[in-house]
Amino acid sequence: MPGFEVFGDHERAQVNEVLETGVLMRYGFEGMRQGRFKALEFEKSFAQKMGVAHCQLVSSGTSALSVALAVAGVGAGDEVIVPTFTFVASFESILMLGAIPVLVDIDATLTLDPKAVSDAITPKTKCVMPVHMCGSMADLDALKAICDAHDLILLEDACQAIGGTYRGKALGSYGDLGCFSFDFVKTITCGEGGAVITNNKTFALHADQFQDHGHDHVGSDRGAETHPYLGYNFRISELNAAVGCAQLERMNDILAQQQKHYQFLRSAIKDIEGVTFRHVPEGGVENYSFLNIFLPTAALAEQVHAAMTQSGIDACFYWFKNNWHYISGWPHLTQAKSLYPMMPIVQERLNKLATQDFSRSDHYMGRNVSFLIKLGWDEETLKHRAALMTRVLEQILSN
């Protein structure tokens, strides 16, 4: 996944163009900036790459989610359905708006189970947020049908799946809104950054305003602009956007390299009895940032993970226990440990998560082991890795 592996002369040259003028802000200073608009440049080219009409670049993936929810009108007391396996940004962005994250089970896709989504809908539900974890997608057709039937917003968190597609469309472009992160460990990076994409003109206009204190961006005098709505500051700086411009040019190469490495490792282990792979919905193409396998039991998965790590396989994850991406790892959420008072209803709903039954999610997460795909592996490293992985799996599964 990591674009930081290929930081080089292109990135430096782009950043230097900004440093030469000293205009680090994306708006204004027309006289000084010599026509350099890095954020704008990135937005145009990213929208084109994703096949959508609009892109709003912001300061992080987390702020992208908050902006997307805000423009979709999600706020106080509204419910947003998210999966139990996700990054903390999902519930952070929802809580920021006074809305309620409703966590529901995942299935063999490692993302939202459409049946669990259906079951969780109430009159307060406003939005369904599939999170395309580890490079592959939820069953978007099923989720879209549910959203259409109940008049809900479909917001795709594609932060970990940039470049993946579903029925020919870029992940993130299928729903009403899609979000991306360009933090330092994502497929392409801005250092810090994020983006919201949409084909909805009103959402795009509101995103532009909301991420910059509600500025309408009309005219050439920033101080004289009006503010149709309240906003925040989720702006990206020109320096970060410049890094992104260079990385965007590398995106196709990065994805091709990921796919090559993924396929090499996958074919090495595919016939080992007891190894199955994460389900990719029909019509879906992964971005190959992770290789995800299932073992027959949770005990075996834990054992495989430990043995992989011990034999020197780095970037191998057992999300079920050893990480921060699953409901069991979020006591700060279920205990509602907020620095400031929360609405009582929000606090109550978070507390309830502590005793909710997520055994269906456990069934998949417990048996999952996840391997990050790196770009820098040479042929020899790749072969060595495949051999190690095969040996560990065969040893444990033949017992």
Residues taking part in catalysis: 186
Q: Can you read off the two tokens belonging to residue 99?
A: 């809305």
Nearest by Cα to 152 from 131, 170, 177:
177
User: In the complex, what is the shortest distance from the CB of residue 126 to ligand PLP, in angstroms, rounded to a whole number?
Assistant: 19
Q: Can you read off the two tokens belonging to residue 80?
A: 């947003």
Residue whose CB is less far from ligand PLP, 23 or 254: 254
User: In the complex, what is the shortest distance from the CB of residue 386 to ligand PLP, in angstroms, rounded to a whole number?
Assistant: 26
Taking the C-alpha atoms of residue 68 and residue 73, their distance in angstroms, rounded to an integer, is: 9
User: In the complex, what is the shortest distance from the CB of residue 316 to ligand PLP, in angstroms, rounded to a whole number?
Assistant: 18
Handedness of CA 153, 71, 170, 327 (dihedral sign): negative
User: In the complex, what is the shortest distance from the CB of residue 134 to ligand PLP, in angstroms, rounded to a whole number?
Assistant: 9
Residue whose CB is less far from ligand PLP, 87 or 358: 87
CB neighbourhood size of 267 (10 A)? 10
Residue whose CB is less far from ligand PLP, 107 or 302: 107
Nearest by Cα to 87 from 111, 107, 70:
111
Q: Can you read off the two tokens belonging to residue 387?
A: 């051999």
Q: Can you read off the two tokens belonging to residue 60?
A: 């992080």
Residue 235: DSSP 8-state: P
Residue whose CB is less far from ligand PLP, 114 or 191: 191
Residue whose CB is less far from ligand PLP, 135 or 281: 135
Taking the C-alpha atoms of residue 18 and residue 159, their distance in angstroms, rounded to an integer, is: 26
What residue ranges bind ligand PLP (CB under 6 A)?
A: 60-62, 86-87, 89, 131, 157, 159-160, 181, 183, 194
276 by DSSP, 3-state: which?
A: strand
Number of H helices, E strands in the chain: 14, 14
Residue nearest to ligand PLP (CB): 61
User: In the complex, what is the shortest distance from the CB of residue 100 to ligand PLP, in angstroms, rounded to a whole number?
Assistant: 18
Taking the C-alpha atoms of residue 204 and residue 183, their distance in angstroms, rounded to an integer, is: 22
